[in-house]
Amino acid sequence: MKIITWNCNGAFRKKYHALAPLAADLLIIQECEDPSRSTAGYKEWAGDYLWLGESKNKGLGVFPRNGNTVQKLDWHGEFTIPGLRSASRSITWQTNELRLFLPFTVNHTITALAVWTKGKEDQAFGYMGQLWKYLQIHHSNLSKERTILIGDFNSNTRWDKPDRWWSHSDTVAELERLGLRSLYHHCSNENAGKESQPTLFLHRKQENPYHIDYAFLSADLLGAADIEVGRYEDWISLSDHMPLVVSFVS
């Protein structure tokens, strides 16, 4: 099984052909258009896809290839922080308030969560905080074998803040307690925050590298899995993000 996650930086209807040589079994694309409201060629290419977004032009898409199938999972729930002497609505949240997470199965045998975390400057639980909140509701859904969590997290341990228990490092530690580990760090033996292969070049400048896209796999998939990060010279004309190519025995 070969899965590719890529933030295409918009206009995916003009870019999907670039992924064909990689022969993926599944594509997870951030910042892509809703095929049902885009060009006829893109809609035909998309096939039996899944898509979630806040506008027709920028969303999170899942596109099966090579005869593989996907089925959306109906995950809903609510979580309240216990033990606080507060009546504030902010200590309770629901799945549909969090942005953007798309759970699904692959060939009815693999549980996957596609991720494109969102945030605002005035939002304390932005980006990785959104994932932390999601985990509080859906930890049981993600603690099983044959599970993948993959996408653009917009986060790195280098941006941890000491007074936030939903920091990148704390959230990664929680994922590990659920049995999910970053494939990149497993294969590279690099420390978090010291990644040698960037997945984002801010403003498409090579001197502004960041590692913010990830694939977390359950232990039963991790052992025989591999990962490759796209090269700057191959992809920068299309996006500020590099694709991650995840391969494992399915």
Residue 122: per-residue pLDDT:
78
The model's pTM: 0.97
Where residue 128 sits, what CATH number does that domain have? Answer: 3.60.10.10
Distance CA 80, CA 89 (A): 9
Distance CA 181, CA 220 (A): 11
| Residue 211, phi then psi, degrees to nearest 5 | -115, 105
Residue 158: per-residue pLDDT:
96
CB 31 within 8 A of CB 7: yes
Q: What does the pLDDT look like over 194-215, one tens digit per residue?
A: 999 999 999 999 999 999 999 9
Residue 250: per-residue pLDDT:
81
> Which residues lie below 8 Å from residue 192, measured CB to CB, with a gap of 6+?
156, 157, 168, 169, 172, 182, 185
Residue 181 is part of which domain span? 2-247
For the chain, what percent of residues have pLDDT higher than 70? 100
Residue 74: per-residue pLDDT:
97
Residue 120: per-residue pLDDT:
80
78 — pLDDT class (breaks 50, 70, 90): very high
For the chain, counts of helices (H) and of strands (E): 6, 16
Total domains present in the chain: 1
Q: What is the mean pLDDT of the chain?
A: 97
Average confidence (pLDDT) over 154-166: 95
Q: What does the pLDDT look like over 103-138, one tens digit per residue?
A: 999 999 999 999 999 998 778 999 999 999 999 999
Say whether pLDDT at 54 is over 80.
yes
Residue 226: per-residue pLDDT:
98
Residue 73: per-residue pLDDT:
98
CB count in 10 Å sphere of residue 207: 7
CB 104 within 8 A of CB 72: yes
8 — pLDDT class (breaks 50, 70, 90): very high
